[in-house]
């Protein structure tokens, strides 16, 4: 006689299977994988599905998150007008496509500073925070309970006491072990704090898989930050992974306003409260006297399950590769491109473009590491060159095309970034920034070993099993 609780699990498995068949129709591979897991491992499959499954949802689930007000619509309208007037036809077409699918803003008056190491980025960020006069809006995936994380809260708490408006949004998963004493002191001083998708409340919801992976900051509406760095000592190379290679940009110019709009939508969704009274919005989106401006063109690309079916960040990556005439240089710690991205890279190589990718030589997530090398083998067969970074850990999520089209942000080359997570990239058209990024990439190659098809074909039998196992379950998350 089958135990009653086993019967309940089997019934639940059948219900979940029916839900998957009806709701995941756009992902046949995911349907087949989950069906196999739930059929052949009914008890284990049930638990695994509750923890990492349930990725389907209707558009209504995120409708509130996509609400726009007049100020945000103005940014989109003005950005489209400028994108259409852009003299470079390739960049104009790409910008318009991204704006139509969920991107925000396009401007040509920006001063941009590129960072490839944490020391300079955090020195500038913390100095800008200390100099804030009106408001600070920060949105980070992870804030660690360490020296750098607690220093951040010390600065923010002091600014609150000085009368500066400070709002901080973090992902609940990313701050579970964060500096909770410092957060409490910040809130008691009057700082506003919100978390995105609380894990405890969403344990039985598909939304628990949708994490806010963005790393953006806005200071007085005059300075914006966007990149791959979280907040913590490890991002200064003081963690177990050793030397840390990452990327970010500091923007001054109208490219700050789309970051502000992104923060507003995320803040209102996560906190359930308006960013400010309607009459105060002009302070965030009105005419701004920036500290510096330049001639860098900047477009903000944000992706997530709240936008159109075709993720703007995926579109960005495909279109930038398609525009390439000479070179495509990519950093990605999680390099598991789907068929559309692999086809784009293969087409570029066939057209005579040099395509190079840098990935880590060590794992921070074991499944991802073995999927990285499997995916590398797939693209190498089409002429893409892959290099493993030996100096420490590469966490940078960047692309630079022809030394001019640049992408810096939080989105990796994998389905977690391009399907499940909320991500933001800054797309920059600038020969100066492109040259700086090309030079950084070439310098990184000095600390890399090329990963070849022979390397992959000669891995041990045990490692072959690990690759196969990782590939089998890559579609479940």
Residues assigned a catalytic role: 213, 215, 220, 395, 397, 402
Q: How close are the terminal C-alpha atoms of the chain, in Å?
A: 35
Which tokens is 139 given? Answer: 């949105």
Consecutive H or E run containing 113: strand 104-115
The residues, any chain, with a CB within 8 Å of residue 339's CB and separated by 6 or more, are none
Residue 210 DSSP class: -
Residue 217 has φ and ψ, to the nearest 5°, of: -150, 145
Query: Could you tell me which residues are beta bridge partners of residue 331?
Result: 358, 398
Measured CA to CA, the distance from residue 442 to residue 462 in angstroms comes to: 34
Burial pattern 76-95, b for ≥16 Cβ within 10 A else e, equals beebbebbeebeeebbbbbb
- The span from the CA of 165 to the CA of 276, in Å, is 11
Between helices 42-52 and 28-40, what is the axis angle to 10°? 140
Query: What tokens appear for 147 in the block?
Result: 């020296």
- What are the beta bridge partners of residue 244? 393
Cα-flanking dihedrals φ and ψ of residue 104, to 5°? -135, 130
| Strand ranges for 125-164 from DSSP E | 135-140
C-alpha gyration radius of the chain? 22
Exposed (0-12), middle (13-18) or buried (19+): which is 215, by Cβ within 10 Å?
buried
Report the sign of the C-alpha dihedral through residues 33, 36, 38, 44, in that order.
negative
């Amino acid at each position: 006689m089958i135990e009653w609780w086993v019967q309940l699990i089997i019934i639940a498995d059948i219900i979940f299977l029916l839900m998957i068949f009806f709701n995941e129709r756009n992902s046949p591979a995911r349907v087949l994988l989950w069906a196999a897991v739930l059929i052949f491992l009914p008890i284990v499959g049930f638990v695994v599905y509750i923890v990492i499954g349930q990725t389907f949802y209707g558009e209504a689930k995120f409708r509130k998150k996509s609400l726009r007000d007049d100020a945000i619509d103005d940014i989109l309208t003005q950005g489209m007008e400028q994108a259409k007037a852009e003299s470079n036809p390739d960049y104009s077409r790409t910008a318009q496509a991204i704006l139509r699918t969920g991107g925000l803003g396009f401007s040509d008056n920006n001063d941009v500073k590129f960072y490839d190491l944490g020391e300079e980025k955090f020195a500038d960020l913390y100095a800008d925070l200390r100099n804030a006069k009106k408001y600070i809006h920060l949105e980070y995936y992870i804030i660690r309970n360490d020296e750098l994380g607690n220093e951040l809260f010390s600065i923010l708490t002091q600014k609150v006491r000085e009368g500066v408006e400070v709002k901080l949004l973090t992902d609940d998963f990313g701050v579970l072990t964060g500096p909770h004493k410092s957060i409490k002191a910040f809130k008691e001083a009057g700082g506003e704090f919100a978390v995105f998708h609380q894990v405890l409340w969403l344990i039985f919801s598909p939304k628990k898989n949708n994490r806010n992976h963005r790393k953006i900051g806005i200071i007085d509406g005059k300075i914006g930050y966007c990149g791959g760095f979280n907040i913590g000592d490890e991002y200064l190379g003081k963690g177990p992974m050793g030397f840390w290679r990452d990327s970010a940009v500091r923007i001054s110019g109208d490219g700050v306003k789309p970051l502000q709009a992104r923060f507003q939508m995320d803040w209102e969704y996560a906190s359930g409260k308006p960013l400010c009274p309607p009459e105060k919005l002009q302070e965030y989106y009105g005419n701004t006297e920036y500290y510096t401006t330049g001639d860098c063109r900047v477009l903000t690309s944000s992706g997530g399950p709240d936008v159109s079916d075709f993720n703007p960040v995926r579109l960005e990556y495909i279109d930038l590769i398609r525009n390439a005439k000479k070179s495509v240089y990519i950093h990605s710690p999680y390099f598991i491109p789907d068929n559309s991205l692999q086809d784009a890279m293969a087409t570029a190589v066939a057209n005579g473009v040099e395509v190079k990718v840098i990935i880590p030589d060590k794992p921070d997530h074991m499944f991802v590491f073995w999927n990285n090398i499997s995916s590398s083998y797939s693209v190498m067969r089409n002429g893409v060159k892959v290099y493993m970074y030996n100096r420490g850990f590469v966490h940078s999520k960047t692309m630079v095309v022809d030394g001019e089209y640049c992408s810096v942000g939080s989105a990796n080359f994998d389905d977690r970034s391009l399907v499940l997570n909320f991500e933001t990239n800054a797309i920059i058209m600038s020969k100066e920034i492109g040259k700086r990024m090309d030079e950084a990439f070439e310098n990184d190659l000095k600390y890399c070993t090329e990963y070849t098809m022979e390397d992959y074909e000669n891995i041990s039998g045990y490692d072959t099993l690990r690759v196969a196992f990782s590939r089998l379950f890559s579609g479940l998350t």
